[in-house]
Amino acid sequence: MSDDIHNRKKSHIEIASSERGRFARTTTLLDEVTLVHQGLPELSLDEIDTSIELFGRRLSAPLMIGAMTGGTNEAARINKDLAGLASSLGIGFCLGSQRIMVERPETESSFQVRDVAPNALIVGNIGVVQARAMDPVQVSRLVDAVGADAMAVHVNPAHELIQADGDRDFRGCVDTTGELASILPVPVIVKETGCGLSRQAAEALVGRGVLHVEVGGAGGTSWVKVEKERQTAQGKHTEKIGDVLGEWGIPTAASLSLLSDLPLTMIAGGGIRDGLDMARAVSLGATACAVAQPVLAAYRDGGVAGVRSLLEEMIGAFRAICLLTGSANSGALRDATRIIGPNLERWRLQGR
């Protein structure tokens, strides 16, 4: 099992960075959010404050490098390089699933980045099904082992159904998230991995005391497609359900809209590609945005310098959009005048 996880993670890095797992027809619907231009913003670009407070850390912009990987030598290098960059830019960094740390403790060092990012926001990661089988003290040890400021508990039932040995039983997972939220010494973030969070799921989480989510909506990377691609490349038989569910999920903008009036800190993940996507997501209620695939692709093509260029461009564009909407800071973007397109509006109406 552990060797299979190790090989799967290596394949996931390659497939995700190549965009072969990207949604083909389903979009994030962020393009249906039009922020209204203000020709007289009465602001100076220099006075725009893009910084936010999140999980006890001050970020220079509402941006995090999203969860990617861990458990291999390549993953260790990627994590160190990107966490160090996140620290220098003053943004957050999210680790990939730490499940392999439980099964192969010798991989722990591939997740340890605090030495290169002493002051950065670091988010740990474990699957909800794995957490359900663990004692909360064991999950707390995963937090301590990487010096995490928060713990993401990821939910990915669609992805699991495509894996031949994936999980099939998701009972008790809502209770698990609530228990962890009440016991862990750091904030718990319930994180979808590309299919979005529904209103019903979010209300169940709120009812269990969960305060933070990453919507992980559809429109970016489809992990159903990534897994099907991985198995096909290895000459393995793949279930037809992989074809059926390749475009499955709630678009990122729709998920944000459905949850916007709930007492939750929302992180926008899933298809965030530039500063305009960031601004649109924040205007829909996101506190911060997590970007993963574009970072991985930039790292593949240009190393740390390539990722730095990408992220600085995103932050610069976000700052410019704050000015052009008359928003003095990130929080003010939530009140910026916007027009919602018909497809996104249908989702908004569905959730009310």
- Per-residue confidence (pLDDT) for residue 334, from 0 to 100: 95
Residues in contact with 49: Cβ distance below 8 Å, sequence separation at least 6, in sequence order: 328, 329, 330
Q: How confident is the model at residue 352 (pLDDT cuts 50, 70, 90)?
A: low
> pLDDT tens for residues 105-160?
999 999 999 999 999 999 999 999 999 999 999 999 999 999 999 999 999 999 89
Is the pLDDT confidence value at 233 over 70?
no
| CA separation for the pair 24, 41 (Å, rounded) | 38
Q: What is the token pair recorded at 256? A: 């944000």
Instruction: Round to whole Å and give the CA distance between 128 and 160.
Output: 12
Check pLDDT > 50 for residue 300.
yes
In contact, 32 and 257? CB cutoff 8 Å: no
CATH number at residue 104: 3.20.20.70
Percent of the chain beyond pLDDT 90? Answer: 79
Biggest alpha carbon–alpha carbon distance for the chain: 61
Domain count, the chain: 1
226, with CB counted inside 10 A (0-12, 13-18, 19+), is buried
Lowest mean pLDDT among 71-80, 179-188, 261-270, 343-352: 343-352
Which residues form the domain of 212?
A: 2-350
